[in-house]
Amino acid sequence: MSLQGKHILLGVSGGIAAYKSAELIRLLVKHGAQVRVVMTHSATQFITPLTLATLSQHPVGLDGEDLDEPMRHIDWARWADVVLLAPATAQRIALMAHGFASDLLSTLCLAAECPVVVCPAMNQAMWSNPATQANVARLEGYGVAIIGPEAGEQACGEIGAGRLLTLTEIVVQLTAHLNSAEQCLAGKKVMITAGPTIEAIDPVRFLSNHSSGKMGYALAQAAYSAGAEVTLVSGPVAMSAPAGVTLVSVHSAEQMFNAVQASVQQMDIFIGCAAVADYRPESVQSQKIKKSPEVMTIQLTPTIDILASLNDLPTKPFAVGFAAETQNIKDYALGKLEAKKCDLIMANHVGIEGTGFGSDDNAVTVLGHDLQIELPKQSKTMLARAMISIIADTYKQRKL
Ligand code: CTP
């Protein structure tokens, strides 16, 4: 993950999470970025400008102290590749949403033509207040990216959504946002399998699993937004394919295998996100099986492993697998990385409430041959952006 050479203008506004901005600057610098800081007056009550100036190695922009440099809000906005507001208070979000130019940071945000990323941090009731939510929606409508907040225990003692996202996650999501804005997969062909497969028993019954396809569809959207030409090979799900993505609809593992084989050789990247059935009934009854008092046995036969079959191709795309596990997640996932000869594997814990199959959220550990990145529980949309960014970075490094 790299922010190498990026100019980041960090806006710090006045909430208790402002103290975390010192560590955030260190992390951004560690990832190769140059950082300049603008603080609001209230932020200076929580952490000193001297601390942030020392860590960023640049003077900090403060209200009313730019008289010798009256065009600072324009100059700094032009210098920035991205404006990052972390933490962003409810007041700051409201000012931005309504276009106020009342202090250095707000004028700078208005003057910025680069991507703007906002990391909210506030009391949970302030975050869920309809006025804040409306302001956030308004900012998103203007193309501002909102990262976080996360849920948990707050400085005020209350519990709920409103905490500043963890600093490592801010770096992951910021990188993902910049990678997407820079079209990190422009000109690349990406194939993604998604959803479940269904294996017929007779004309009315089948074997399947709980996969909703949400993760695969979010990946298709994120890859398309990052500039890729995307082919989505999907089992039956209750969603439409994202606009601009080529959908190939299949039912069974065999159909999915055939659809993948038909064009995978032209792909640069393959992402196996589908929950492919490992077994299918050995024979499919042509007529509906009638009920009887006898115990019934269905003989099952293994399906082809679509991901592993890429190893038989003369030219294999960069391969990303998923490992859906209920226990020993990392060990099993690393086993699959080796056995299926993937470049990356996304290990996810299924079978727990609130993540994995069917839910809107997920948490994964990205494992590579010399890489391990934790992506904590978050929406599948956010997670997909982070995954695509990591996939693009790793793919490029492998090609170097
Ligand atoms: N996969 C595949 N074809 C199959 C089975 C799995 O392409 N017939 C892919 C999945 O899309 C995923 C990876 O292999 O990217 C791992 O799938 P998973 O279900 O976690 O593991 P399995 O290999 O099926 O092993 P097990 O069910 O024993 O955990």
* Atom number of ligand 1 nearest to Cα 277: 8
pLDDT in tens, the chain (400 residues): 579 999 999 999 999 999 999 999 999 999 999 999 999 999 999 999 999 999 999 999 998 776 567 677 888 999 999 999 999 999 999 999 999 999 999 999 999 999 999 999 999 999 999 999 999 999 999 999 999 999 988 888 889 999 999 999 999 999 999 999 899 999 999 999 999 999 999 999 999 999 999 999 999 999 999 999 999 999 999 999 999 999 999 999 999 999 999 999 999 999 999 999 999 999 999 999 999 999 999 999 999 999 999 999 999 999 999 998 889 999 999 999 999 999 999 998 887 777 767 788 888 999 999 999 999 888 899 999 999 999 999 999 887 6
Structure token digits, residue 324: 């859906």
Confidence (pLDDT) at 360: 84
Ligand 1 atom 27, closest CA: 278
Q: Looking at 114, 119, 156, 184, which residue is catalytic?
A: 156
Place of tokens 């949403």: 97
Write the DSSP symbol of residue 275: B
Confidence (pLDDT) at 170: 96
Structure token digits, residue 271: 């992402």
Pocket test for ligand 1, best of 264, 278, 338 (most atoms within 8 A of CB): 278
Q: Is the CB of 323 under 6 A from ligand 1?
A: yes
Q: Is the CB of 272 under 6 A from ligand 1?
A: yes
Confidence (pLDDT) at 63: 85
Ligand 1 atom 16, closest CA: 323
Confidence (pLDDT) at 2: 76
Q: How far is the centre of ligand 1, averaged over its atoms, from the C-alpha of 335 (Å)?
A: 12
Q: Is the CB of 306 under 6 A from ligand 1?
A: yes
Reported for 135-142, long-range contacts at CB under 8 A and 24+ positions apart, including other chains, are: 135/90, 135/93, 135/94, 135/96, 135/97, 135/98, 136/93, 136/97, 138/97, 138/98, 139/93, 139/96, 139/97
Q: How far is the centre of ligand 1, averaged over its atoms, from the C-alpha of 127 (Å)?
A: 40
Q: How far is the centre of ligand 1, averaged over its atoms, from the C-alpha of 238 (Å)?
A: 22
Q: Is the CB of 336 under 6 A from ligand 1?
A: yes
Instruction: Tell me which residue of 117, 121, 118 sits closest to 82, measured CA to CA.
Output: 117
Q: How far is the centre of ligand 1, averaged over its atoms, from the C-alpha of 123 (Å)?
A: 42
pLDDT, tens only, 338-352: 999 999 999 988 877
* Atom number of ligand 1 nearest to Cα 273: 11
Confidence (pLDDT) at 398: 83
Q: How far is the centre of ligand 1, averaged over its atoms, from the C-alpha of 305 (Å)?
A: 7
Q: How far is the centre of ligand 1, averaged over its atoms, from the C-alpha of 58 (Å)?
A: 50
In degrees and rounded to multiples of 5, residue 379 shows phi and psi of -65, 150
Helix (H) or strand (E) holding 164: none
Write the DSSP symbol of residue 72: H
Active site residue 114: no
Ligand 1 atom 14, closest CA: 307
Confidence (pLDDT) at 294: 94
Ligand 1 atom 12, closest CA: 322
C-alpha 356: how far from chain center:
14
Return the SS3 of 162: strand
Q: Which domains does the chain have, with CATH numbers?
A: 7-181 (3.40.50.1950), 189-399 (3.40.50.10300)
Q: Where are the beta strands (DSSP E) in the chain?
A: 7-12, 34-39, 61-62, 82-88, 116-120, 145-146, 150-153, 159-163, 189-194, 199-202, 205-207, 229-234, 246-249, 269-272, 279-281, 300-302, 318-325, 344-349, 361-368, 371-379
Q: Is the CB of 305 under 6 A from ligand 1?
A: yes
What is the C-alpha to C-alpha distance for residues 60 and 383, in angstroms, rounded to an integer? 33
Q: How far is the centre of ligand 1, averaged over its atoms, from the C-alpha of 345 (Å)?
A: 11
120, 163 in Cβ contact below 8 A? no
Q: How far is the centre of ligand 1, averaged over its atoms, from the C-alpha of 193 (Å)?
A: 11
* Atom number of ligand 1 nearest to Cα 304: 8
Q: Is the CB of 257 under 6 A from ligand 1?
A: no
Confidence (pLDDT) at 349: 83
Q: Is the CB of 274 under 6 A from ligand 1?
A: yes
Q: Is the CB of 322 under 6 A from ligand 1?
A: yes
What is the C-alpha to C-alpha distance for residues 189 and 269, in angstroms, rounded to an integer? 7
Q: Is the CB of 324 under 6 A from ligand 1?
A: yes
Q: Where are the beta strands (DSSP E) in 241-391?
A: 246-249, 269-272, 279-281, 300-302, 318-325, 344-349, 361-368, 371-379
The number of beta carbons lying within 10 Å of the beta carbon of residue 2 is: 14
Q: Is the CB of 194 under 6 A from ligand 1?
A: no
